[in-house]
Amino acid sequence: MTQPTTPQANDQSPTTPRIHWASSGGFILAAAGSAVGLGNIWKFPYITGVYGGGAFVLVYLGCVLAVGLPLMIAELMIGRRAQENPVGAFQKLHYRGSPWQITGWLGVASGFVILSFYSVIAGWALAYVFESLSGFSGAAADIQAQFDALAGSAPRSAFWHTVFMALTIGIVMGGVRDGIERWVKILMPGLLAILGGLMIYGLFFTDGGSQAIGFLFQPDFSKLSAEGILSALGHAFFTLSLGMGAMITYGSYMNRDSHIVRDAITISLLDTVIALLAGIVIFSLVFSYGLEPNVGPGLIFHTLPVLFAETGPWVSVPFFVLLTFAALSSTISLLEVVVSYFVDERGWNRKAATLVMGAVIYVLGLLSAIAVLKVPFRGSEQGFLDILDYISTNYMLPIGGLLTCLFSAWIIKDQVRREEFGSAGLAYKAFVWTLRLITPVAVLIIILHGLNLLPFVE
Ligand code: PHE
């Protein structure tokens, strides 16, 4: 193994030239775009519904603060300091050949896996923009069968997955500034405008607004379960795009004069507020029609379209455009992690790396698009989409997050960490000790839970 003797090998100086975001606002939009995705608009409302509302939301907010925010700061630090892709970054901040590079590898692998199935779900969202143009009508069972026909049809799911991957590849091929940054400047304001409009509709034009607010913000702790607490913790990871090097990669394009802590707070806050707004919109609709909030993953594609039959396309089309925009600004960050590795470490040119790796991920995604393709997994026959989702959320992201946390808490030089943090006062000490003790314990709990090693959770 190479020893850390040559100056370049152990060079922690932030001088390597690299393309940077054109503006700090562009970076915030890109990182918030990565964070805000299906996790906010599809998953957060449905798990909040399943785990009983207010008390779950409170625990989730605690997880974002104790686990999400420190890890977000840590990933941005690693990226900006190293100015490299995740595999290179862990070596650069330790030494060439350091075993910590495994964390970067795991991140690149997570990019492959998550993007492959995420694009299939995102494809359904895009398909539903068009389906809802002509409006939903008929009995509830028919409207629900309409979704099963899409998700159950391999050619149709594969078609929309193809379109979505092509969009993602097209944007990432354009590069950091002319592709990603340019597009998030359109997608994110569009997303906020639509969400704002839908929230006004939900709060003031349906009868469910105040009930939705009560459900989300009045905690009833009798509904809280151990399982709910662990889901809140796992979701904090997924929704903030942590544990797979996405924030390391985006951080590596940050300028020295940007303010990591302030930016991490802004990104986490945006992600949280958008999830809560999506919750208000969806539960306003659900309650205004007297439905139960706890239907699970089908909330968006099964339950909402039945309600959209009443509201008309004026609500449903913007809703699915919102979902598509949110997903697209996330998929580009997933692909960028993979591309940055091939560009930095293997010397590929960006266009070739994007096309070739995008194609490989696309083919892997076809497995998830073919719903009838089932294999034995954890005691039952399951489709690839569910299996890959399960493995990445329960193992890959938490393990990647734990390693990133330990690396930034115990391995990086204190001076480097302090410089990147921007101060050495009380806030810095609180950050370091949270990262050293609280965050790793919380993450370890998620991993043990994934392995079914926690006896007190049924
Ligand atoms: N944060 C995204 C969401 O909430 C998902 C994601 C995870 C994106 C990891 C990039 C990296 O949908």
Residue 361 sits in a domain whose CATH number is 1.10.4160.10
State yes or no: pLDDT of 106 exceeds 90: yes
pLDDT at 457: 62
Q: Is the CB of 333 under 6 A from ligand 1?
A: yes
Does 280 reside within a domain?
yes
Mean pLDDT of the chain: 92
Give kind and range of the element (H or E) at residue 380. Answer: strand 380-383
Confidence check: pLDDT of 27 > 80: yes
User: Does any domain span residue 1?
Assistant: no
Domain with 156, as residue range(s), is: 18-450
Q: pLDDT, tens digit, for every residue of 182-215?
A: 999 999 999 999 999 999 999 999 999 999 999 9
Half-sphere exposure at residue 445, Cβ-oriented, CA atoms within 13 angstroms: 19
39: CA distance to ligand 1 center in Å?
7
Residue 366: other Cβ atoms inside 10 A: 18
Q: Please indicate whether residue 246, judged by its CB atom, sits closer than 6 Å to ligand 1.
A: yes
Model confidence at 234, in pLDDT bands (50, 70, 90)? confident
Residue type, 382: Q
CA-42 nearest atom, ligand 1: 12
**Best mutation site among 47, 106, 235, 241 for ligand 1 pocket (most ligand atoms within 8 Å of CB):** 241
3-state secondary structure of 376: strand
User: CB of 40 closer than 6 A to ligand 1?
Assistant: yes
Is residue 244 in a domain? yes
Q: Which ligand 1 atom minimizes the distance to the CA of 38?
A: 12
β pairing state of 380-383 and 374-377 = antiparallel
* Residue 369 belongs to a domain: yes
Number of domains, the chain: 1
Bridge partners (DSSP) listed for residue 376? 381
Residues in Cβ contact with 370 at an 8 Å cutoff, skipping those fewer than 6 apart: 154, 157, 158, 383, 384
- The reported pTM is 0.93
How far is ligand 1, taken at its centre, from the CA of residue 124, in Å? 17
For the record, the structure tokens of 27 come out as: 């970076």
Q: What is the separation, in whole angstroms, between the first and last Cα of the chain?
A: 45
Ligand 1 centre and the CA of 69: distance in Å? 15
pLDDT score of 7: 40
For residue 8, is it within any domain? no
Report CA-CA distances (Å) from 50 to 199, 219, 234, 281: 22, 14, 15, 17
Q: Ligand 1 centre from 125 Cα, in Å?
A: 16
Average pLDDT on 271-281 reads 96
In a domain, 45, yes or no: yes
Query: Which of the 8 DSSP states describes residue 315?
Result: H
In 244-396, which ranges are continuous DSSP H helix? 246-251, 260-288, 303-311, 313-344, 350-369, 384-391
| Distance between CA atoms of residues 306 and 309, nearest Å | 5
- Alpha-carbon gap, residue 383 to 402, rounded angstroms: 28
Query: What atom of ligand 1 comes closest to residue 397's alpha carbon?
Result: 9
CA distance 386 to 153: 16
Closest ligand 1 atom to Cα of 333: 10
Q: What share of the chain is helix, strand, coil (3-state, %, to 5)?
A: 75, 0, 25
Q: Would you state the structure tokens that stand for residue 191, as one six-digit string?
A: 């997303």
- The per-residue pLDDT for range 150-167, each reduced to its tens digit, is 999 999 999 999 999 999
Is residue 457 in some structural domain? no
Closest ligand 1 atom number to CA of residue 326: 12
| Residue 374 β-bridge partners | 383
Supply the pLDDT for residue 345. 95
Summarised one tens digit per residue, pLDDT across range 283-313 is 999 999 888 898 887 889 988 998 899 889 9
Closest atom of ligand 1 to 40 CA is 4
| 239 Cα: distance to centroid of ligand 1 (angstroms) | 5
For residue 10, tell me if it sits in a domain: no
Burial of residue 390, with CB atoms counted within 10 A of its CB: 0-12 exposed, 13-18 middle, 19 or more buried: middle
